[in-house]
Amino acid sequence: MRADTAQQEFETFFCAHREAILRLTFAITGDHDSASDATQEAFVKVLDKWKRVREMESPEAFLKKVAARCAIDHLRSRTRTEPERDQAVSTTSDNVAVRQALSKLKPDQQAILALSVGEGWSYAEISEAMKIPEGTVASRIHAAKEAFRRQWGDER
């Protein structure tokens, strides 16, 4: 395959999936800048492996997994460097309260809720993206929901 054709294929792939990946990374990070950075990193990683990725049964699924990992990494690094952040995603008070309650959870709890509740991923998809067993996914979702309920109660 010629380099021109591979580049055109990737550009088409990028254009077709950029917005969906940006929504996914935003659901995990809750921050437009971090989501944009994670999205860019994910596409760069996919581009680096494009020869192999384009031959996969589902390049989109691979991209989603890479993007989720990049967003989780951003969330973890931001949590270490920014203990408190006050960024409202929406002007409605419920959305602000939800985002504030979520921001107080551990990064992995934020990510697993974003993937399961926000994005509707299956336990198998989350397991693969986060590199943990499916049983662990179930228990972590439960723990994250409980932690959210506690934070939500404190916010009210």
CB-based contact 71:112 (threshold 8 Å): no
pLDDT of 52-99, one tens digit each?
999 999 999 999 999 999 999 988 887 555 544 444 444 466 777 788
Residue-averaged pLDDT of the chain: 86
Joined tokens for residue 50 = 């494009």
Q: Which domains does the chain have, with CATH numbers?
A: 3-155 (1.20.140.160)
Q: How far is residue 22's CA from residue 133's CA, in Å, rounded to a whole number? A: 26
- Which of 74, 66, 80, 93 minimizes the C-alpha distance to 30? 74
Q: How far is residue 132's CA from residue 135's CA, in Å, rounded to a whole number? A: 8
Predicted TM-score of the model (pTM) = 0.73
